[in-house]
Amino acid sequence: MHKERIRLARLLDKVMPAEAAAELIRDGMTVGMSGFTRAGDCKAVPEALARRAAKEPLRITLMTGASLGNDTDKILAEANVLARRLPFQVDATLRRKINAGEVMFIDQHLSETVEQLRGQQIAPVDVAVVEAVAITETGGIVPTTSVGNSASFAMLAKQVIVEINLNMPAGLEGLHDIYLPTPRPYRQPIPLIAAEQRIGLPYIPLDPAKIAAIVITQKDDSPSNALPPDQETRQIAGHLNDFLLHEVRAGRLAPSLQPLQAGIGTIANAVLHGLVDSPFRDLKMYSEVLQDSTIELLDAGRLSFASASSVTLTSAVYARFLADLERYKSRVILRPQEISNHPEILRRLGLITINTALECDIYGNVNSTHVGGTHMMNGIGGSGDFARNAHISVFVTKSVAKAGAISSIVPMVSHVDHTEHDVDVIVTEHGLADLRGLAPRERAQQIIANCADPLYRDLLGDYVTRATRRGGHTPHLIEEALAWHARFREEGTMGGTGPILAAA
């Protein structure tokens, strides 16, 4: 069966077991692997690397599109194969090693990794490992459920290993649009002006001589583990819908809004899901990942087109997507993450972006990555690419975590990923703060009144009142600004009390 998938016949003799292919990867090398939000990752070569590492020294720098599935980061981390890792991850074992300082993790804007590679500003890729549906007659690689950085990895690497995954339907061919920025100087404008536009090839063009090994696999992507909407995420979706409706009524947005982006994960997925029952029509997505909500919006006729770099679905929705692939293909494009996340395109299109915050502060700065200001959760991912260049940049979060022991609205965030300049709207289950055109002191009033949980509202109000007495464009009690985080570390709670009694 795999012979139909390798349409350049002279490459058939490159087919070999994963162990043999993995031999191309030597200790100290930099490896670029496919995979973005658990989709389209290579399944066999990483496992072979982990097995070999038990027998001989093998430490590599691993670059990917974004997160991997199939426990690959776990297996590689446990086998101590990962010396350096970039630009994103979501694995608990790897996270532990990153936070222990055992794996050097470089947390990057997802649009920038290959730009830095091309500029030789980070170590060059020795070997690229790319999952494919097929190899074309000219040696081109047809990706599977993600494009990620695979095109640039393959084109910049000295050698390429292709994993042909027979579990991936051949019908995925035609879903992808591969375009990469032309060289500097005199780089040309990227000709994309609409989410639905094709500007490239349906495969990764490649000198077939660089294909050093082909491995046949039969293994599915790991399904999405996003949780279904709950009461709070439904409330968040409701507030955002109301806001968008208000913008349409005020004439500031058309009923088709602007192209939508939503970050990976439960809350953003739930917020998008909330649009199913909205009055908006002819919506488009220009995002980095398509989740269950995208398919639901397509099926509901709300969404007319979706562009992204990967498709990451729960098992049931994945089956639905694959069963009706031809129909979805006319309304979905997968692109390199450099294009899905490119500042040039994002600013041109003018997106409404919806990303998840770990915590926000009263002035609108957002922490998306560091628990307690120190411990990496996943990484900034594409949130910075999108928030910076958005038409309206929305951040969503539940107002508290750990049953109220943690407030997601704090006096000062313990780590900043997105500054107040890049945050237009904050939404929690309690409400929405529209920060556009407001000075920091005004932002604080909006955020505390509309977004903070009642458990913490008075404490925040008290903080800002006392801080404001000292003056400043952005008032703070600098010796107290991170005290809530310190208290949580010591006592297991930020100290939410609810309304402060006048008598107290």
Give catalytic residue positions: 288
Q: Which is nearer to a second copy, 276 or 477 (CB)?
A: 477
3-state secondary structure of 3: helix
- Helix and strand numbers (H, E) in the chain are 18, 26
Q: Which is nearer to a second copy, 120 or 231 (CB)?
A: 120
Strand order through the sheet with 30-33: 104-105, 82-86, 60-63, 30-33, 127-132, 159-165, 211-217
Residues 63-102 that bind a second copy (CB under 8 A): 84, 98-101
Structure tokens at 309: 């770099």
Query: Is residue 449 close enough to count as binding a second copy by CB under 8 A?
Result: no
Query: Is residue 461 close enough to count as binding a second copy by CB under 8 A?
Result: no
Among 17, 124, 301, 472, binds a second copy (CB under 8 A): 472
Residue 159 CA, distance from chain mean position? 27
**Binding-site string for a second copy from residue 198 to residue 237, where x marks contact by CB under 8 A and - marks none:** ----------------------------------------
The contacts of residue 225 (CB under 8 Å, 6+ apart) are 314
Match 């005199």 to its residue by tokens.
Answer: 186
Only segment of 209-217, 230-238, 477-485, 496-504 that touches a second copy (CB under 8 A): 477-485
**Shortest Cβ 187–a second copy spacing (Å):** 5
Here the contacts of 474-478 (C-beta below 8 Å, separation 24 or greater) are 474/363, 474/440, 475/440, 475/441, 476/411, 476/412, 477/411
Q: Which is nearer to a second copy, 82 or 334 (CB)?
A: 82
**Shortest Cβ 423–a second copy spacing (Å):** 12
3-state secondary structure of 437: coil
Among 205, 372, 404, 454, binds a second copy (CB under 8 A): 372
**Shortest Cβ 454–a second copy spacing (Å):** 25
The contacts of residue 153 (CB under 8 Å, 6+ apart) are 32, 33, 34, 63, 114, 125, 128, 130
Query: Is residue 430 close enough to count as binding a second copy by CB under 8 A?
Result: no
Residues 145-204 that bind a second copy (CB under 8 A): 181, 184-191, 193-194
Residues 337-366 that bind a second copy (CB under 8 A): 342-344, 346-350, 365
Among 8, 322, 405, 482, binds a second copy (CB under 8 A): 482
**Binding-site string for a second copy from residue 291 to residue 330, where x marks contact by CB under 8 A and - marks none:** ----------------------------------------
Among 26, 327, 402, 489, binds a second copy (CB under 8 A): 489
Q: Regarding beta strands 310-311 and 289-290, do their DSSP bridges make them parallel or antiparallel, or are they unpaired?
A: parallel
Distance separating alpha carbons of residues 67 and 435, to the nearest angstrom: 32
Among 441, 458, 461, 495, binds a second copy (CB under 8 A): 441
Distance separating alpha carbons of residues 398 and 403, to the nearest angstrom: 11
Q: Which is nearer to a second copy, 370 or 457 (CB)?
A: 370
Q: Which residues pair with 290 in a beta bridge?
A: 311
